[in-house]
Structure 1
C-alpha cells in the first residue's frame, strides 16, 4: 500500500505541473491529462479503447443503468466505444481531480498477444465485457509513472514511450482484466465483429436502423448479435443509439438552448415530446432547464 501511495503522489506531482484545466492531449501521442478544480454536473462522453487512471479526487460514471464511483488508484479499461455519463464528485482548487488516459492501439495489442501466456478459462459473460475496472497494483503504477515522467523529458519520449506503452499493455493483458484488453487485438472476437455495427451507430446515430442490418454488418445472426451486443455494451442497440443521441443533444443545447425542437430533430427525434421526455429521464431535467443550468455552472 505504501508503494502504491508513493507512486500515486509522484504521478500526481507530474500531472499537476503539466495539466491544464479540463481534458486535453499532451506532447505524448495517445496520452491525455485531465484536471478539474470543482465539482461538475453529469456530462456525456464516449470511451474508446483506452485505460484511464484516477490519480486524485473522485468521479462518478453511469453506463446504462449502472452507476460506479472511482477514486485515486483505480483504473478503467475500455475495449470499445461506450457512451457514459461522468461527473466529478471530489475536487477543489487545492486538490483538483486529476486523471491520465492512454489510448490502446489494436495492432500493438495483437502483437503482444503472440507473446502473452494463454488466458485462464473464463465464462462467456466475463470474456464479453467491454469495460473492466480495478485497483492499480504497484507494477501498473510503476509503468504509468515512467510514462508520465516523459512529460518532463520530451527528448526521451520518441525512444521510450513505445516501450512503456508495450509494458503497460503487458501488465494489463497478463492481469486480472486481461480478457477485456485481449478483445481489442483479436480480429475474430465478438468485439471485433460487433465493432463494425457499433461504429456505424456512432456515425449514424441520427438515422433509423434495423437490427437485421446491424447483424449483417457484424456477420452474425440476429439472435447472436442481440446477445453479444448486450453482453459487451450492457445495452440493446436502441438503448446505445439513444444514449449517443441524448449526449450529442446535450452538447448542442449549450450553444442552442432556445431551439430545443431543432436540436431534437437534428439528433434523430421526430417528436419533440418524446425528445423532452427521454432527455429528462436521462439527465433529470427538461432540455431547456438543463442547458441553462449547465451554462450557469460553466460560467462560475
Structure 2
C-alpha cells in the first residue's frame, strides 16, 4: 500500500480509538456506519453479515463459508450483497495492537441508484448466481471517502447533508472496482439472482414462520429445485438452514439482552419444541441456551 493509503488508515484508527469505551461494536451518529474493536483474538462464532462493505483496519479475520476458508486484513475489503450467515474468527489482536474494523451497510436500492446516476458500464453479462460475498483489493480511492465519512463524526450538524453524498462516492468506487459486476447481478430486474435476493429478504422478514418450499418457490416464479439450488449458491445454505441460523442468532441476542427464559425464547423465534431448540442452539454455539448466556455474562464481568 502507498504512503497516502497508510496515512488515511492511521487517521481512521486514531479516530476510532478515541471513540472506544470498551471492546465490541461501536455505533456512530451515522446509522449505517459502525466500528469493531477487540484487544484479543476469538474462537470461531456464527454471525450474519448484512449487505455491507467491511474493512479490517488493523489485525486480521478468518471466515468459514461451507467448506471454504477465507481470510482478510487491511489489504482487502469484504463486500456482502445479501444477508449471509458465516463463521468468523479474529486472528490477530493484542493489547498493543488491537483488532479494529469498520462496516458500512447499504441496500440494493442504494447500489441501483449509484449505478443509474453514474451510468457505470458492466464488464460482463454473466448473471449466474454466485456466493453472496466477495473480496476486493483496498485502494486509496476507496479509503479516501471513508476517511472523510469518519471525519464527519466530528461535525454532527453536517452528517444529514454530507453523509449520503460521501457514502454514494464510496459505493461508486466499489462499483467501478471488482465489486461492480458482483453487485450488478443483484439489481438486474427479473434475473434469477434478484429473485433469490427477494427470497432471502422474505425469509429474513418472516423467519419465525414455517417455510412451505413449494409455495415459496411458486410465489417467486421458480421450481423448488431451482430455488434450492440457486439459494445455496448464494448463501451456502438451504432455505431451511438459513432460517434456522436467523432464528438461533435472534435467540442468542434475546438471551444476552433480556431477562427471559430459554423456553420462552424458543417459542418467540419460531420453535415448536424447546428441546429441539436447545439441541440446535448447543450445536451452533457450543453450549445449551441458559448455560451459554450465563458463561458469556460471566466472561463480560471478568473483562470489566
Normalized against structure 2, the TM-score is what? 0.83
Instruction: Tell which deviates more after alignment, 65-74 or 97-106.
Output: 65-74
Looking at structure 1, the residues matched to 234 and 111 of structure 2 have their Cα atoms a distance apart, in angstroms, of: 19
Aligned position for 2:124? 121
Judging changes above 3 Å, is the alpha-carbon distance between structure 1 residues 160 and 224 closer, same or farther for their aligned structure 2 residues?
same
Give the one of 198, 217, 239 matched to 1:196: 198
Q: How does 1:102-251 map to 2 (within 5 A)?
A: 102-114=104-116, 115-121=118-124, 123-125=126-128, 128-251=130-253
| Matched position secondary structure for 1:32 | strand
| Unpaired stretches in structure 1, ≥5 consecutive residues | none
Give the one of 75, 84, 99 matched to 1:82: 84
Q: 1:193-220 deviations in whole A, cap 9, x for unaligned?
A: 2233222322332332111122133232
1:158 Cα deviation (Å)? 4.3
- For the 8 Å contact 1:257–1:292, the answer to whether it is kept is no
Looking at structure 2, the residues matched to 295 and 167 of structure 1 have their Cα atoms a distance apart, in angstroms, of: 41
Q: 1:51-77 deviations in whole A, cap 9, x for unaligned?
A: 111111233344455443332343221
Q: How many residues align?
A: 299
Normalized against structure 1, the TM-score is what? 0.84
Instruction: Tell which deviates more after alignment, 152-161 or 200-209.
Output: 152-161
Structure 1 stretches of 4+ moved >6 Å: none
| Matched position secondary structure for 1:209 | coil
- For the 8 Å contact 2:64–2:87, the answer to whether it is kept is yes
1:92 and 2:101 equivalent?
no
1:258 Cα deviation (Å)? 9.0
Q: 1:205-247 deviations in whole A, cap 9, x for unaligned?
A: 2332111122133232323222221111111101101111222
| Matched position secondary structure for 1:150 | helix
Instruction: Tell which deviates more after alignment, 232-241 or 130-139.
Output: 130-139
1:145 Cα deviation (Å)? 1.7
Aligned position for 1:13? 14
Q: 1:149-175 deviations in whole A, cap 9, x for unaligned?
A: 222344544444333222211111111
Looking at structure 2, the residues matched to 182 and 123 of structure 1 have their Cα atoms a distance apart, in angstroms, of: 10
Looking at structure 2, the residues matched to 161 and 64 of structure 1 have their Cα atoms a distance apart, in angstroms, of: 36
| Matched position secondary structure for 1:248 | helix
Aligned position for 1:275? 277
Looking at structure 2, the residues matched to 147 and 33 of structure 1 have their Cα atoms a distance apart, in angstroms, of: 13
1:272 Cα deviation (Å)? 4.3
Across the aligned residues of Structure 1 and Structure 2, the Cα RMSD in angstroms comes to 2.9
1:54 and 2:56 equivalent?
yes
1:12 Cα deviation (Å)? 1.1
Looking at structure 2, the residues matched to 34 and 98 of structure 1 have their Cα atoms a distance apart, in angstroms, of: 6
Judging changes above 3 Å, is the alpha-carbon distance between structure 1 residues 261 and 92 closer, same or farther for their aligned structure 2 residues?
same
1:295 Cα deviation (Å)? 2.0
Judging changes above 3 Å, is the alpha-carbon distance between structure 1 residues 116 and 231 closer, same or farther for their aligned structure 2 residues?
farther
Aligned position for 2:295? 293
